[in-house]
Amino acid sequence: MAASTYCQFRLARLRPTWRRLTGQERSEVLAGLEALVSRYPEVRVDRYLPGHGDPGCDFMLRLESGDPRALEELGAWMAAGAFFQHVEPVLTARGRTLAPRYVTPEQVEALLRRQPAPDLRRHVFLFRIRRTPDWWHLPEPERRAMVREHVDRGLAAGEPIYRCCYYCAGLDDQQDFLYYLESYSEAAVLEAYAAVQALRDARYWAQHDLAFQGRLVSLAEWEDRVRLGISRHRPEAEPGHLEPVPLQPGTWPDQPGAVPQHPGATLPQPGAMPPPPGAPL
């Protein structure tokens, strides 16, 4: 069985205090953030700017690692660092990958074949789903059959869609699953999402929404946009662009600005710097 990969998605907006800093002060704060990230080479940090239908955030960060302790340490140090004193959290979500449980080996192979090579031009989507209690009481063969229908519908999309499913149980009780998708075609993903809602599987979604829609950007572009205090990326709509699918009504169990803590996470004092990787906290 492949080792799990642990992930944090951090959606946030810049506070008005950020725009009151001088250009030099902003550059120094961003340099401090990157110095902190560099202390954790085992954690991959990707940066995103919102596009069509963004949920009121200025940016998203994805932290990913096979080492959950390093991931939580970096996340805690970032939250207490100078940059995040000028940031208002919108959503923090945690999950991890697991060995495929419901899909067939043939579907796994087909999904891997359709994964496009890394490219900053792709559209990015983060969906979250909370299952109904009835789902967990269904016989496993019935659940497998419904999820396979779901996967087959995604494979039928005309454009390749890279996808990753993160399981949230034991890490984050706000939702059961996080689905991260990338594609060159914004319309292909939104059409597939709309089609999946008509399948049997969707009857067991207590809540679901599109938490983030935007694109992966380079470190240089992200820093330039954030330094200017205008991090919203508004690409021209591609031919056939669809408006975002309306969100499922209902209240998610998280509170705006709340950052759920993983058991064992150590919160540093604001302004402090972490010890070298591997040193005891």
* d(C-alpha 196, C-alpha 167), whole Å: 19
Total-model pTM:
0.77
Name the residue with tokens 């089609």.
195
Sequence ranges of the domains in the chain:
6-228
List the pLDDT tens digit at each of the 281 positions of the chain.
Answer: 457 889 999 999 999 999 999 999 999 999 999 999 999 999 999 999 998 655 589 999 999 999 999 999 999 999 999 999 999 999 999 999 875 555 555 555 555 555 555 566 778 889 999 999 999 899 988 888 888 777 777 666 666 677 788 989 888 888 898 988 888 888 888 887 888 888 888 888 999 888 999 988 999 999 999 999 864 444 444 433 434 444 444 444 544 433 334 434 444 444 444 444 444 43
Which CATH topology does 6-228 take? Alpha-Beta Plaits (3.30.70)
* d(C-alpha 26, C-alpha 20), whole Å: 9
* d(C-alpha 122, C-alpha 125), whole Å: 10
Helix (H, G, I), strand (E, B) or coil at 7: strand
CB-count exposure of residue 71 (10 Å: 0-12, 13-18, 19+):
buried
